[in-house]
Amino acid sequence: MSGSYKQIDHTADIAFEVSGNSLEELFKASSKAWLTSVIDVTTFSQSENKKIKLSSYSKEQLLVDFLSELNFYLFTKKWLCYSVDDLSIVRKMDDWSLSASLTGNNINFKINLKQEIKAITFHQMNIKKSGNVFSTLLVFDI
């Protein structure tokens, strides 16, 4: 089973319940929740790959950093990541690190974008493991 995400009601912003059978699946599902929040169209004729490496002191901070990276690429570099592959998360004590391959391309802001995500918040974010399923709430400030 791959990860899943479900949008839930939030008065001012956008919230999702996200889950996956591993942290990697949870992170990938979170990236899809982010993608669906910013754009409707998800197929592109051209693509470009980028490798990213991030590290942080908690899995929640790592998730915020990961999605913030996608957000920065989009809203500052005008480069939309529409697929995340080879995502790997490694923990060494309090050091959480992530590597992934991003696929995307440059986009024109005048078309397609649904809204600007100001930030990925920590609001009610708590990555829990229940049985074999990792889950959390994800809230984007828009």
Q: Which chain residues interact with other proteins by CB under 8 A?
A: 7, 9-14, 57, 60-61, 64-65, 68, 72, 74-76, 78, 109, 113-116, 118-123, 125, 139, 141-142
Q: 133 near 2, Cβ under 8 Å?
A: no
Instruction: Give, in order, the Cα–Cα distances in Å from 59 to each of 30, 42, 46, 75, 111.
Output: 13, 27, 33, 24, 34
CB of residue 7 vs other proteins: minimum separation in angstroms?
7
Q: Closer to other proteins at the Cβ: 78 or 128?
A: 78
Residue among 77 and 129 whose Cβ is closer to other proteins: 77
Element (H, E) at 29: helix 23-38
For the chain, count helices (H), then strands (E).
2, 8
| Residue 42 or 85 with smaller CB distance to other proteins | 42
Tell me how far, at minimum, the Cβ of 132 lies from other proteins, in Å: 26
Min CB(67)–other proteins separation in Å: 11
Shortest separation between residue 106's beta carbon and other proteins, angstroms = 13
- What letter represents residue 118's amino acid? K
Hunting for tokens 């708590």 — which residue is that?
Answer: 126
Residue (54 or 133) nearer to other proteins, CB: 54
Contact 27, 87 (CB under 8 A): yes
CA distance 71 to 66: 9
Shortest CB 48 distance to other proteins, Å: 19
Residue nearer to other proteins on the CB measure, 110 or 131 = 110
